[in-house]
Structures are given as structure tokens and as C-alpha cells.
Amino acid sequence: MSRPSHTGIGMTSARTRDRLVQRLREQGITDLRVLERVRVLPRHIFVDEALASRAYEDTALPIGWGQTMSQPLIVARMTEALLQGGPLGKVLEIGTGCGYQTAMLSPFAEKLFSVERVEPLLRKAKERALELELRNVRFRHGDGMKGWPTQAPFDGILAAAAPLTMPEALVQQLAMGGRLIVPVGPEGQQQLIRLTRRESGIHRESLGPVAFVPLLGGIA
């Protein structure tokens, strides 16, 4: 069975997407670039067809292998937080998942590097990136806890899963002025953290409570 088209009627209509964008506005997303990216990105292509009718709800959805696609509000918040502070040259994404966050970030980075530990998820994400013609993205099957040292330093790093403590390897791969957006902590106690590397040292901010799947080491 073929996938639903990127545009059309019903769940893929402009009205459906506009309602989602309006909900994000009401919940505090103000960056117009992020809101427009949410509006134009076909979220339904990142989930199984059985879940496609729920793609424009502001909710997390399962993508298999014990992973989820984050709710649009969280994806928008993390993208907005990463963009604050200046333009992004090289960006590292930890936890490609289904590729939705990857596709959100792609227009805002000169080069985007994405690491995923679960090979079947990575394979699907690559297919969607080709479908959407995301030409500035490179993928890697690897351990996200280690980052991508050979491509460091990065102007931005975004982690789509939660380590128990701040991963020092990722902090070390930040460029001067670079920002790291990462949920940290055990289940039920996670905080979204933004670290910024400055001449005076690492500046840490808490952006509020969140709930993510754990960031695991190794590959699968």
C-alpha cells in the first residue's frame, strides 16, 4: 500500500497543520521559522500508516524498537532553543529515530550529522531523508553517547533521548559559542538542559521538565 501524499485533504490538509501550529503558538513557541517548518513538514510520513491519522496531534507516537517520535511541542521547543544564540554551521543530532527531528533541523544547519544506535530505524530515516531531499544530512550507525568526534566541533548538538547524567563527550565536542540541548535525568525527573560554551566556561540553563526515552550506549 502506498503512503499518503505530502499534501492533500483530511489529515494532510493545510487546515490540519495550521491547527497544530496554532496549538504550539498557544504553548509558547514564538520563532516563526520553527512554526513554519512544523507547518510544512509532513509528519505523517514518519509513522506507520495505522498511526498516520494521529500525526498532527500534539502527542508522542511509537516508532518501534521501544522508541517514540517526540510530540511536536517538544521538537519545536528543542529546535527553538538550539537556534537561539546565532546561526548554525555544523549540527550533531543524537538519536535519529524516525528522522522527524532530523527533518526539522535540516533547513537551519549548513551541515547536519545524525547518529542512531538502532540500525533498522536508521535505515528508515535515510529513506525519508531521500524522499524529502534533505541534502545536507549525513547519517551514522553508532553510539550516540560518544557523539561524532571526527566531525567535531559542532555549533549545535541536540539529543533526542535522555542520559542519566550530562554526557561529557558531547560537551567536549561543542564549538565556542555552541549550544547543547539535552534532556537529563531518570524517568520522572528529567529536565531539558541547554549548555552554551563561552570564553568564561560552560553556561547551564534548565528549560523545564520533560519525558524522554533513555539514551543508551552501544549499538543495536
Active site residues: 70
Return the amino acid letter for 219. Answer: I
Torsion sign across C-alpha atoms 128, 130, 135, 137: positive
The residue whose grid cell reads 537529563 is: 184
User: For the chain, what is the total number of helices (H) and then of strands (E)?
Assistant: 6, 9
Three-class secondary structure of residue 142 per DSSP: coil
When computed from its CA atoms, the radius of gyration of the chain, rounded to whole angstroms, is 16
SS3 of the chain: helix, strand, coil, percent, to 5: 35, 30, 35
Q: How far apart are CA 39 and CA 31, in angstroms?
A: 13
Of the CA atoms within 13 Å of residue 114, those in its CB half-sphere come to 30
- Contact 207/192 with Cβ under 8 angstroms? yes
d(CA 194, CA 125): 26
